[in-house]
Chains A and B, each alone.
Chain A
């Protein structure tokens, strides 16, 4: 891979580009937030940020460390509660929802709870947090995660947050809001989406220097591969400068 940028920088940039100007996003901390701030500072200045702690419409200057801290409400238009954030999403005002996770399956279901049995886990992760709420209630779910066989699995150890559950129509049958669901998966190898008919994960583009085979080798389930697979556009100088110098100067994510 080209050494001008790291795979994490590529992820952040690819995630940022998913977001359109004048849309809204329910965002937690972490790399998704880095992507949202980048989008706001580049092509989407009017992106409406919804933070779980209740800060709405902020003009975030420096990376918050918590979803409720004062950096999340910097120049916000409203400081409400977590129930404001949840209602906004449940009412249908949240276009995008960003989530991460330890495991993901071919329908975009996510595990952020534990590896091994719940009763005595091998590794305990933080649980749903707002993840299940975001994945249930926003229109388009964007999942940001590293790409390897331990993460992209046939069967989750625990389904924390809903993707398309077990296939077409399953979300609606479960009572989840109609027309919502996983939209993109952004990894350090590729940009992926979901097949309209089968709701299964499909490859859209591989990052520069990454082959389709490499993506398949790092995926523990059968991935849909279209005839034409594009190459993800490289990060620009401007995007890299913003990430390194303004958004994450401490190198919390960007390194």
Chain B
């Protein structure tokens, strides 16, 4: 195949489907086994220093409880897929990110830029390999299909391609130029869902973002859930199953485990909490103080929920999701 152009960066994730099959054969049980455990056990068992992490889009069911626990256990030298918003800023402030294969990273969407990630990148502590959001999802899709690469028509002609590990080739069928993306098998996928059973069968309400691709492509999948339900829920409506159990390694029941992210149908984003981070993280000391309080400073997640405002705050976030409350956005005034 004629290669016209190549990105200058190396592939840092696992990308060989043959190697993945071998690994699946040896390591992923097909049996219906109870995978329920605590978040501390799930993270210590399945996340290693140097792993490649994948966790979707902030604003939609991010497993914050898993992110917090990774920071609490002081995992090191992590590679992060796609990037992120608040969760990426926390991981950066904790100093545990080595490389980001960026789609979107370092921004807070409408809220501005991420102070901690910016500091880390501008001082050369985090290395960035550039891709696009869709390209990243396609790499996961290729992995999820068990194939080594996938073509796309974006990225072409830009510096984004030059700073990636993509290749531009002549399509052997149409004769036209096309961009090829290598498959991406993350070491660990973190996914938060509205409901699943003890085996890991899961339903997602609302936008799926790239979570089904993550579940299928990752070697280890840690599923955190608002609720554990009976397997009959899935047997009755199998067409509603987004993630079948055999992809999943751990099931952790943590109501509000996505706070301050949004879980469609249940609770909206906690903008007051995010504003507190944006205020504190302006300095390294402030960021450290925030981590000390909200990540290191308690024994279990229920204590955390008390600290962020308890029942009163959680009720507010639930009413907000139903448009029964006015959204407060303190960062817009600061």
Is the CB–CB distance between A81 and B154 below 8 Å? no
Is the CB–CB distance between A66 and B107 below 8 Å? no
Of the listed residues B113, B137, B168, B328, the one surrounded by the most CB atoms of chain A closer than 10 A to its CB is B137
Expressed in whole angstroms, the Cα–Cα distance for A81 and B141 within the complex equals 11
Per the CB 8 Å criterion, the residue count for chain A at the interface is: 63
Is the CB–CB distance between A162 and B158 below 8 Å? yes
Is the CB–CB distance between A70 and B265 below 8 Å? yes
A68 at the A/B interface (Cβ < 8 Å)?
A: yes
Closest to A165 in B: B157
Q: Give chain A nearest CB distance to B281 CB in angstroms.
A: 15
Closest to A28 in B: B109
Is the CB–CB distance between B106 and A30 below 8 Å? no
B249 at the A/B interface (Cβ < 8 Å)?
A: no
A124 at the A/B interface (Cβ < 8 Å)?
A: yes
Closest to A86 in B: B134
Interface residue ranges of A78-93 to B (CB < 8 Å): 79-83, 85-86, 90
Interface locus among B72-80, B183-191, B203-211, B303-311:
B203-211
Is the CB–CB distance between B57 and A62 below 8 Å? no
B102 at the A/B interface (Cβ < 8 Å)?
A: yes
Interface residue ranges of A112-155 to B (CB < 8 Å): 113, 118-133, 136-137
Per the CB 8 Å criterion, the residue count for chain B at the interface is: 67
Expressed in whole angstroms, the Cα–Cα distance for A177 and B152 within the complex equals 11
Q: A52-B133, A79-B207, A128-B104 are in contact. Are A65 and B59 (CB under 8 A)?
A: yes
Q: Give chain B nearest CB distance to A187 CB in angstroms.
A: 19
Q: Give chain A nearest CB distance to B150 CB in angstroms.
A: 10
Is the CB–CB distance between B153 and A137 below 8 Å? yes
Is the CB–CB distance between B137 and A158 below 8 Å? no
Which residues of chain B come closer than 8 Å to A79, judged between CB atoms?
A: 206-208
Q: Give chain B nearest CB distance to A90 CB in angstroms.
A: 6
B131 at the A/B interface (Cβ < 8 Å)?
A: yes
A61 at the A/B interface (Cβ < 8 Å)?
A: yes
Interface residue ranges of B48-94 to A (CB < 8 Å): 57-60, 83, 85
Contact with B along A22-36 (1 / 0, CB 8 A): 000000011000000
Query: Which B residues are closer than 8 A to A by beta carbons?
Result: 57-60, 83, 85, 102-107, 109-111, 113, 117-118, 121-122, 124, 128, 130-135, 137-138, 141, 152-160, 163, 168, 176-179, 206-213, 262, 264-265, 268-269, 271, 321, 323, 327-329, 332-333
